[in-house]
DNA sequence: CGGAAATGGTTCCACAAGGGATTGACTAGG
DNA sequence: CCTAGTCAATCCCTTGTGGAACCATTTCCG
């Protein structure tokens, strides 16, 4: 039962000079791990979300699920709370609450679906668009910073490989399970 | 300010036939996103952790931070709570509580550091090792399943590229910030 | 049609999470 | 050798989270 991803050569030099025990442990978590791939994307997710949502919290006073709603609307305007819930795996009551907060702030507006009176398609207000416009560059910038060690070609490769994995999960999960 | 990762060709066919609105939205979140790379690893992290920690919860009655401690000890025995905290970004008090629970269950033992009586190096008990031994295959298997769409060569490539990104973050974060 | 099952959204409540202060142990400086 | 400052671990308390029950509307099916 070998690790499905071999520890790559690029990692080895680091092992030689661990500055502290902590570095050594973090290093072990990332490289000496039967689930190396999982450890790595979890690490990336952590190091990406932690600072960004921390900043969103202190800059706008918005919690993570609240901001996720804005972000979702930025991608697909008119999406409903349930859809965001299903897609992001936040529980729907959490999102319901969040929508309430956002509506009270005037950054989101609850619309009405013509064909289904239960559904509430959500829309960004101009204020919401402004807020999102201020926040997005940070998100883009940190991603850019993360990818900085890679050349353009490598980014393309990485993108393509991740795409394959994600699509696999997407199909397996949304339909199969 | 274009997306730093272009939407790869492999994704396009899917757009043509979205079975439901939800699929369409999830798809947009993954591919029509200025932070495509972030969206993808966040998606993978979600789809990986959700089922596994759900299973751990119902199988062993262990919360995520509790299991993370066991997992950490599996990788590096004798690591302390603080080190796990720093490395995984779980708050120390959460881990302290978790260690308490695990100790009470008899799966973890609080040792004593010879040179520093403040520190409590943690160790797996035989029961803890058994528990971990039962759980690990699930984690390995799901990772394997995720990587299944990739050939061995592609896995190597992905591993190498992720390694570059992670190492960049590792250095930037632990020392720079 | 009409009742049963399903679905979008909200409300209630128990509980765990994590920020902040506290204790106890080590280390450096007067 | 005592004091100030740091660090590991724990405790307390507020808050957000998310499971479950709950309405309103819609869809399914006899």
Q: What is the pLDDT of residues B29-48, one digit of tens each?
A: 988 999 999 999 999 999 99
- Mean pLDDT value of segment A45-74: 95
CB B6, CB B31: distance < 8 Å: no
Please state, for a pLDDT cut of 90, what percent of chain B lies above it. Answer: 68
Given this model, what pLDDT does residue A167 score? 87
pLDDT tops 50 at residue B177:
no
- Mean pLDDT value of segment B68-87: 94
- Mean pLDDT value of segment A72-96: 95
pLDDT tops 50 at residue A30:
yes
From the Cβ of A29, is strand C under 7 Å away? no
- Mean pLDDT value of segment B145-167: 94
| Location of structure tokens 């009586």 | B117
Q: How confident is the model at residue A148 (pLDDT cuts 50, 70, 90)?
A: very high
Contacts of B46 in chain A (CB under 8 A): 88-89
Given this model, what pLDDT does residue B173 score? 60
Distance B36 CA to C4 C1' (A): 44
CB atoms inside a 10 Å sphere around CB A54: 11
Considering only the beta carbons, identify the residue of A24, A89, A166 that sits closest to B30: A166
Q: What is the 3-state secondary structure (H, E, C) of chain A?
A: CCCCCCCCHHHHHHHHCCCCHHHHHHHHHHHCCCCHHHHHHHHHHHHHHHHHHHHHHHHHCCCHHHHHHHHHHHHCCCCCHHHHHHHHCCCHHHHHHHHHHHHHHCCEEECCCCCCCCCCCEEECHHHHHHHHHHHHHHHHHHHHHHCCCCHHHHHHHHHHHHHHHHHHHHHHHHHC
Q: Which of residues 101-130 of A touch B (CB under 8 A)?
A: none
- Of B138 and A7, more confident: B138
Asked if the Cβ–Cβ distance from B6 to A159 is below 8 Å, we say: yes
Please provide the distance, in angstroms rounded to a whole number, between the alpha carbons at the two ends of chain B. Answer: 25
Q: How confident is the model at residue B174 (pLDDT cuts 50, 70, 90)?
A: low
d(CA A63, CA A168): 31
Given this model, what pLDDT does residue A9 score? 44
Tens-digit pLDDT profile for residues B17-26: 334 676 889 8
Given this model, what pLDDT does residue B170 score? 78
Q: Which nucleotides of C are covered by protein (CB under 7 A)?
A: 7-12, 16-21, 24-27
From the Cβ of B23, is strand C under 7 Å away? no
Q: Which of residues 62-81 of A touch B (CB under 8 A)?
A: 72, 75-76, 79
The pTM for the full model equals: 0.86
Given this model, what pLDDT does residue A15 score? 31
How does the average pLDDT of chain B come out, rounded? 85
Given this model, what pLDDT does residue A171 score? 75
Contacts of B87 in chain A (CB under 8 A): 22, 25-26, 29
**Stretch (H or E) spanning B168:** helix B152-171
Given this model, what pLDDT does residue B14 score? 34
Contacts of B14 in chain A (CB under 8 A): 167
CB atoms inside a 10 Å sphere around CB A164: 20
Given this model, what pLDDT does residue A7 score? 45
């Amino acid at each position: 039962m070998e690790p499905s991803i071999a520890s790559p050569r690029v990692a080895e030099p680091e092992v030689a000079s661990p500055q502290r025990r902590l570095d050594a442990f973090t290093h072990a978590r990332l490289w000496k791990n039967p689930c190396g791939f999982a450890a790595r994307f979890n690490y990336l997710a952590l190091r990406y979300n932690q600072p960004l949502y921390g900043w969103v919290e202190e800059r706008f006073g918005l919690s993570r699920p609240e901001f996720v709603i804005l972000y979702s609307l930025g991608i697909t305007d008119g999406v409903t709370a349930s859809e965001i819930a299903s897609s992001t795996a936040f529980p729907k009551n959490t999102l319901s609450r969040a929508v309430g907060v956002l509506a009270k702030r005037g950054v989101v507006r609850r619309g009405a679906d013509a064909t289904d009176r239960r559904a509430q398609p959500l829309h960004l207000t101009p204020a919401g668009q402004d807020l999102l416009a201020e926040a997005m560059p940070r998100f883009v910038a940190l991603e850019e910073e993360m990818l900085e060690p890679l050349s353009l070609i490598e980014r393309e490769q990485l993108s393509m490989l991740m795409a394959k994995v994600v699509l696999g999960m997407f199909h397996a999960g949304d339909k199969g399970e």
